[in-house]
Amino acid sequence: MARLFRWLLRLAAALILLILIASGLAYYLAAQSLPEYNKQISLPGLSAPVEIIRDNANVPHIFGSFGASDEDVYFGLGYAHAQDRLWQMAVLRRTAQGRLSEIFGRRTLESDLFVRRLDIYGLSQQSVSAQSAEALQSLKAYSAGVNARILEINEDALGRGAPEMFLFNMPMAPWQPADSIAVMKLMALRSSHHLQDEVLRARTSLALADPERLQDILPDAPGKGITTLPEYASLFPGLPRYASAAPLPPKSSLFPVSPRGFGGASNAWAAAPNRSAAGGSLLANDPHLTLSAPGSWYLARMELATGGIIGGTIPGIPAILTGRSEQLGWGITASFLDDQDLFIEKLNPNTPEEYLTPQGYRTFTKRPSIIKIKDEPPVTLTLRWSENGPILPGSLFGLSAITPPGHVVSLGWTALDPHDTSLTAAIDLMRSSNVSQAIAAGEGFIAPSQNLVLADRTTIAQKTIGAFPARDARHHSKGRLPSQGWQRVNRWLGRAPYAANPEFTSPRGGILGNTNNKILQRPFPSHVSYSWGDTQRVNRWRRLMQSREVHTRDSFMEAQLDTVSYTARSLLPLIGADLWFTGGAAEDGSREKQRQTALTLLSEWNGEMNEHLPEPLLYAAWLRA
């Protein structure tokens, strides 16, 4: 017995020793992958020394020494991105390429199939030649900086560049300008939602016996809107008069389209000098995207020939998308522009590889695409495009429920442009020195569409940037429902002129802003959207802005950190009007007493959604029930 105990003790000691050795080795390898900031290195691709200084928040400040060019600073940004976010950049690129399944297996196959059908990466490669010479130089310099970090990792045996890459063997190919364009298109995909809106509206229309109720269930944003729509069943009589109850397919956390209503939101506003206590313009921006780890944004400062710029970048994209220079500040909010349409394509009953157009039947544009899957045989996908856009399968977004027999669905989307100059526009915006130059720079922006809020020393403005689809005024569904792709009146007529994009400059009240709210009412086809963000934020913002004659930096910060729910303050009196102060006194500890206590708390609550208060929980539970 004693011998057995000794052997068990030795075995336990050996196991503990092995665990300690394995843990130490894992820590050493992971630590090797973490960046070292206090060092001097010589890297290929620079024309002069570049210094990257990080502050206490680890924000990199990138300076070029005497003789350095702007390209050297972009090189430094690429290097800093790759130091801190190499894994994130690798995942974003593979998502845009439709190559996640090579690493994660079948669970990401749905994402790869969808992105390959859109051909995001192929279109990005074609868009490289559309960039301006200056932007292309910046893209190449940024790519060289990323690749210099990859080379450093490989030559100096610095692990794999990121601790995550020990868990997932993801070989890192050199970064290219097309990769940055693809990441920008991926951001557009993640913020687009009109495809899902059209499917929901069509399925709801099919489920309703009374078509007038469609406007009640899916109402327009406040303000005068469209009054009538055709029944979806009248556009496609072959469909059953009910919506399919089949559940939508489960989505991987890496699927590039956010669930409807969760695509992110944003706030931005500005005050002119006459509404500022210091006599200068003020601008605030809160571009919140879907929560992730790491987050989508990466703060950085770049010292260019035109001056210093600091603000938010997205790893993989060599541009400060929201930030400021000494002369100009700019912020962005999602515009909710209706930049997507679904088209129902009628197949030739005799030749399913042909579809109907206004000129007769034509053959789909086709090409094969092979998707490799970890530990499984590859999948060969046939990509099909009509004149309206890529063909999507019925398994996506519940499309099968709204597709008549003998038809398929195609997607029209502004981001599917082989001459996408959005990155050139973003880089030109960074180099702008005043509001008018910034507005002019926005003309080249295609997607994602944004409301650009601007402030220079004397002027504030807001301009919607991004390509507006030009539609025929006789469009059958006004872009709100999937339409017949073979009808000329439903097809896009190119891009609307940039001058038609909403623009507000130097408002008389001295303050402007956007919380994804409806910004104007224009009749179709000059409309911006029929679907907007919630209106509660703009109402609360309006009250905060109008509560004082002049604003300061602190008052803008106070507004950004405000936690009062306008919705709660509006709904509580209505919902609780017949509940409060009813019934007699109740015994302590009884359910009736708890009910009365809860109602008393709510009746005295100002709507502040503070995490230390019980009222927000009571309100949320009550509203849900």
Q: Report the pLDDT value the prediction gives residue 595, as an integer from 0 to 100.
A: 83
For residue 389, tell me if it sits in a domain.
Answer: yes
Q: Report the pLDDT value the prediction gives residue 126, as an integer from 0 to 100.
A: 97
Strand order in the sheet with 340-346: 391-392, 407-413, 340-346, 483-484
Run means of pLDDT, 10 residues per run, the chain, 625 residues: 74 83 70 79 87 94 87 96 95 96 93 96 97 96 96 79 81 94 95 89 85 81 46 55 48 76 80 91 90 89 93 97 96 94 96 95 95 94 96 91 93 96 96 96 95 95 96 93 95 95 91 90 89 84 88 92 91 74 73 84 90 92 85
240 and 358 both lie in a single domain: yes
- CB neighbours of residue 88 within 10 Å: 21
Q: Which amino acid, one-letter code, is at 561?
A: L
156 and 56 both lie in a single domain: yes
Domains: count for the chain = 3
For residue 153, tell me if it sits in a domain.
Answer: yes
Please give the sequence-ordered ranges of beta strands (E in DSSP) within 58-183, or none if there are none.
60-64
Domain end: 413, 444, 464, which one? 413
Q: Report the pLDDT value the prediction gives residue 263, as an integer from 0 to 100.
A: 63
For residue 145, tell me if it sits in a domain.
Answer: yes
163 and 218 both lie in a single domain: no
The residues with which 300 forms a beta bridge, in sequence order, are 311
Angle between helices 133-155 and 70-97 (to 10 degrees): 80
Residue 517 is encoded by which pair of tokens? 């709210």
The residues near 399 (Cβ < 8 Å, ≥ 6 apart) are 199, 342, 392, 393, 409
215 and 163 both lie in a single domain: no
Question: What is the CATH number for 370?
Answer: 2.30.120.10
127 and 224 both lie in a single domain: no
Q: Is residue 388 classed exposed, middle or buried when 0-12, 13-18 and 19+ CB atoms within 10 A define those classes? A: buried
Q: Report the pLDDT value the prediction gives residue 247, as an integer from 0 to 100.
A: 47
209 and 63 both lie in a single domain: no
| Cα dihedral: 185, 186, 190, 193 (round 10) | 40
For residue 258, tell me if it sits in a domain.
Answer: no
Domain end: 354, 385, 413, which one? 413
Domain end: 398, 413, 428, which one? 413
Q: Report the pLDDT value the prediction gives residue 212, as an integer from 0 to 100.
A: 78
81 and 211 both lie in a single domain: no
- CB neighbours of residue 389 within 10 Å: 22
38 and 156 both lie in a single domain: yes
For residue 477, tell me if it sits in a domain.
Answer: no
Instruction: Give whole-number Cα distances, 486 to 344, 405, 431, 483, in Å.
Output: 8, 16, 44, 9
Residue 235 is encoded by which pair of tokens? 């556009």
Give CA–CA dist 467/338, Å, rounded: 10
DSSP assignment, residue 400? Answer: G
Range of the domain at 375: 194-245+340-413
The residues with which 336 forms a beta bridge, in sequence order, are none
225 and 368 both lie in a single domain: yes
Contacts 24+ apart (CB under 8 A), 236-240: 236/344, 236/402, 236/404, 236/407, 236/484, 238/404, 238/405, 238/406, 239/206, 239/402, 239/404, 240/206
54 and 182 both lie in a single domain: yes
For residue 482, tell me if it sits in a domain.
Answer: no
Q: Specify the pairing of strand 483-484 against strand 340-346.
A: parallel
183 and 202 both lie in a single domain: no
DSSP 209-251: SSGGGHHHHSPPPSSS-------HHHH-TTS-SS---PPPPP-
166 and 208 both lie in a single domain: no
Q: Report the pLDDT value the prediction gives residue 231, as an integer from 0 to 100.
A: 47
Report yes or no: 389 and 416 within 8 Å, Cβ to Cβ. Answer: yes
CA 303 to chain centroid: 27
At 333, is the secondary structure helix, strand, or coil?
Answer: strand
For residue 173, tell me if it sits in a domain.
Answer: yes
Question: What is the CATH number for 45?
Answer: 1.10.439.10
Report the sign of the C-alpha dihedral through residues 232, 238, 242, 243, in that order.
negative
For residue 444, tell me if it sits in a domain.
Answer: no
CA atoms within 13 A on the CB side of 467: 23
Instruction: Give the predicted TM-score (pTM) of the model.
Output: 0.89
Element (H, E) at 378: strand 376-385
Residue 367 is encoded by which pair of tokens? 């090409």
Report yes or no: 502 and 528 within 8 Å, Cβ to Cβ. Answer: yes
Report the sign of the C-alpha dihedral through residues 250, 253, 258, 264, in that order.
positive
The residues near 309 (Cβ < 8 Å, ≥ 6 apart) are 301, 302, 320, 323, 324, 325, 430
Report the sign of the C-alpha dihedral through residues 216, 220, 226, 232, in that order.
negative
